[in-house]
Structure 1
Amino acid sequence: MKKTLLLTCLVVFSYLQVKAQGCVAIRSTGGLCTMTAHPDSAAVPGSWVLATNSRYFKSFRHFRGREEQKERLQLGTEVINHQFALDISLTRHLNQYWSFMVDVPLLYNSRSSLYEHGRAERGMMHSSGIGDVRVAAYRWLFNPAKHHKGNIQVGLGLKLPTGDYDYKDYWQNVGPNGTKELRTVDQSIQLGDGGTGISAELNAFIRLLPV
């Protein structure tokens, strides 16, 4: 029965259709090494695991629906975003089934555009700091000591509004006589979204070849 359930989950996941979010406002949600609670790993119940992962991307292409606005690149009016996130997560293994995780994202973002800086010349804005912290609890559905070839883990988390959602930087050429003004940066490079959220996770693995 358990083998059938694992195989069913694998087949279902293989047919899932994945689509892009379609916006640069993608918040970091952290990462977790789900295998650390299994007997094959060095972690034991009652231990702590510190993990880090990073994410970087550059966005500069514009779309309206499915149609790309290539003329923005030709005219030099595209908005360019650089975003880097370093997630630091600390996991406590309570026992062979349960674990608890705290994730703290460190963010550095930059945004280059024309229209936010008087449209005469391109300007740059930045944001940096701690993003929205997330805490989560995880449980293996099957006994890890007996299921070395596959298992399923479920997780439930809470995202806290710790990141600044009203971060300010200087907009160029927008004040009197072309001076700069301190204003709220675009939401795409804000450190947080100002809300509390709930995350639900489903992690699974299956060993195809013997070790």
Structure 2
Amino acid sequence: MSLQYQIIPVTSYEQNCSIVWCDETMKGVVIDPGGDVKLLKQAIEALNIEIVNLVLTHGHLDHVGGTEELAEITHAPIIGPHKEDNFWLQGLPNQSQRFGFPHTDAFEPSKWLDEGDVVVFGNQELHVLHTPGHTPGHVVLFNKEAEMAFVGDVLFKGAIGRSDFPKGDYETLISSIKTKLWPLGNNMKFVPGHGPESTFGYERKTNPFVADEMPFW
């Protein structure tokens, strides 16, 4: 059995929405359905997956804008992020106006996620880490066996998430990366919220913001 995933960039922000599934049971989750719901629906139907949860890493509009619409289509509950991001979800109408997106109503998930929670789909699971800094309620999801993590906007290839949003904090973000993500191992591959995939090991060697294994010439 193995964990499978497909990345579908959505919205004008090219946000990496991930469809993740168990190839034995064909049950899966959608991580950060930020928009372009018709595109996501087509992909889910083409893959023939039963979606059992919609999982949110944090409350920014480009990551959550299509969530309620997709929930109506899939009948899957919405889970995450951590409750500290509730103010972002309640502010979605303002976010959509501010960033020129279609109007998005405020909502609350069926369940908030805490560190140590496990998201189960078929014979696969994703473990939850609370990783504040970009937003106070940001979470990261990982599968140790598959050496795969979905990190939202905490870390990117060659960059880190912004920390200048309300309740964001640079030092907290760096701490989340170094104390929560790095212990998962250098071989851990990750899907960021935007841009190409990478591994924690590569970022530890090359990422100017968080490299701690960067060679000195």
TM bin (shorter chain): under 0.3
TM-score (norm. length: structure 1) = 0.20
Task: Give the helix-richer structure, 1 or 2.
Answer: 2
Larger radius of gyration between Structure 1 and Structure 2: 1
Structure with the bigger RCO (C-alpha within 8 Å, sep 6+) is: 1
Task: Give the strand-richer structure, 1 or 2.
Answer: 1
TM-score (norm. length: structure 2) = 0.20
